[in-house]
């Protein structure tokens, strides 16, 4: 039998946590043959609720689930984990300044970075979901210098999947036949959902470009982009709560593809540490198209970027540069 993999979920008593932990325990994250031990962290005011989640995990009798650690102690939570999914954070409350929210999250991610660095398993892979996701991941990277930067990422797969969903609805094709959209940049409303390289596999087996099939540049360059950018707000308006099941599902997609690999000819979007590819400033956590193999991601190189796209790539990079400066100003 395979050794269980230890998976940390922070903010596990929250909405996304409640949707995510059963997916992990069912094998959605790492496949149906991989046993897991769940480590769940939350803060003391949520301790009772976290314990309730643990009770439900026991009651669900998941065959793959070999143990549950539910704790408010960050060291206990991080000890020995192979995968860390960071969902916990400080939400923006009404009337709060951006800087105040940033400051709270910077201190959370600084502390959790140190705990992961000291106590996680070697080669632990980290996914930051909590907003501001890219900048939280950057802070985590800065304060966990012994964790390789290739092991630290943030979630833009939800935006990627939303883009696939919009194209599938528009063309009335199965979402599984649409591929190679790209989310560039920040997980925020400046992100750039790019369909210039996306394709659809037709029932004939032929692959055609999305741009050709949609044949409506005004929609692709306008409403499509804003719909994907604003989808989170639309869900909040409809549900009075933010996206949770789709965020949890995207987090599983992100880790699964990272660990088990992307299918041949398919890329996905991940927020990763920029090496300067596509003239994105190095040293930002920025969402790029990536392929994964043997547990490592690499940025897809050589895609053509037209003038329209260039502006959008730069705009979201500028926002991330500002966020980075704001985060650093909170440190001093």
- How is residue 277 annotated by DSSP? G
Range 49-88, binding ligand NAI (CB under 6 A): 87-88
Catalytic pick among 39, 119, 160, 187: 187
Active site residue 254: no
Q: Does 11 bind ligand NAI (CB under 6 A)?
A: yes
Alpha carbon distance 215, 200 (integer Å)? 13
- Other Cβ atoms closer than 10 A to 31: 12
> Are the CB atoms for 315 and 190 separated by under 8 Å?
yes
Please state the closest distance from residue 199 (CB atom) to ligand NAI, in A. 24
- Structure-token match 């193999």, residue found: 293
Q: Does 15 bind ligand NAI (CB under 6 A)?
A: yes
Give the residue with the Cβ less far from ligand NAI, 87 or 280. 87
Tokens of 293: 């193999």
Range 119-158, binding ligand NAI (CB under 6 A): 129-131, 133, 155, 158
Task: Write the interaction track for ligand NAI spanning residues 86-105; mark x where CB under 6 A is met and - where it is not.
Answer: -xxxxx--------------
Give the residue with the Cβ less far from ligand NAI, 41 or 280. 41
Strands 178-179 and 182-184: unpaired
Question: Distances in Å between the alpha carbon of 104 and those of 88, 112, 251?
Answer: 12, 13, 23
Q: Does 16 bind ligand NAI (CB under 6 A)?
A: yes
Give the residue with the Cβ less far from ligand NAI, 43 or 121. 43
Q: Does 235 bind ligand NAI (CB under 6 A)?
A: no
Alpha carbon distance 145, 122 (integer Å)? 13
- Structure-token match 């394709």, residue found: 199
Q: Which residues bind ligand NAI (CB under 6 A)?
A: 10-11, 13-17, 41-43, 46, 87-91, 108, 129-131, 133, 155, 158, 187, 242-244, 247
């Amino acid at each position: 039998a395979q050794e269980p993999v230890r998976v940390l979920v922070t903010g596990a008593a929250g909405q996304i946590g409640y949707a995510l932990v059963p997916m992990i325990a069912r094998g959605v994250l790492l496949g149906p043959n991989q046993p897991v031990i769940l480590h769940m962290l939350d803060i003391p005011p949520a301790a009772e609720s976290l314990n309730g989640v643990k009770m439900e995990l026991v009651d669900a009798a998941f065959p793959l689930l070999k143990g549950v650690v539910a704790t408010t102690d960050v060291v206990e939570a991080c000890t020995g984990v192979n995968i860390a999914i960071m969902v916990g954070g400080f939400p923006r409350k009404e009337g709060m300044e951006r800087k105040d929210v940033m400051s709270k999250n910077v201190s959370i991610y600084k502390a959790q970075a140190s705990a992961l660095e000291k106590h996680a398993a070697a080669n632990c892979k980290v996914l930051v979901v909590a907003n501001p996701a890219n900048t939280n991941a950057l802070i985590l990277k800065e304060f966990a210098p012994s964790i390789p930067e290739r092991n630290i990422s943030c979630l833009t797969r939800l935006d990627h999947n939303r883009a696939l969903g919009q194209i599938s609805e528009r063309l009335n094709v199965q979402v599984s036949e649409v591929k190679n959209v790209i989310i560039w940049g920040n997980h925020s409303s400046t992100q750039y959902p790019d369909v210039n390289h996306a394709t659809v596999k037709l029932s004939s087996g032929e692959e055609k470009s999305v741009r050709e099939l949609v044949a409506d540049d005004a929609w692709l360059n306008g409403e499509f982009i804003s719909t994907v950018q604003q989808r989170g707000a639309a869900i909040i308006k409809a549900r009075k709560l933010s996206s949770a099941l789709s965020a949890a599902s995207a987090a599983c997609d992100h880790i699964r593809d990272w660990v088990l690999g992307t299918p041949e000819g398919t890329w996905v979007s991940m927020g990763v540490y920029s090496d300067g590819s596509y003239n994105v400033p190095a040293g930002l956590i920025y969402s790029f198209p990536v392929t994964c193999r043997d547990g490592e991601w690499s940025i897809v190189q050589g895609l053509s970027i037209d003038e329209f796209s260039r502006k959008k790539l730069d705009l979201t990079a500028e926002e991330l540069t500002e966020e980075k400066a704001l985060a650093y100003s909170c440190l001093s």
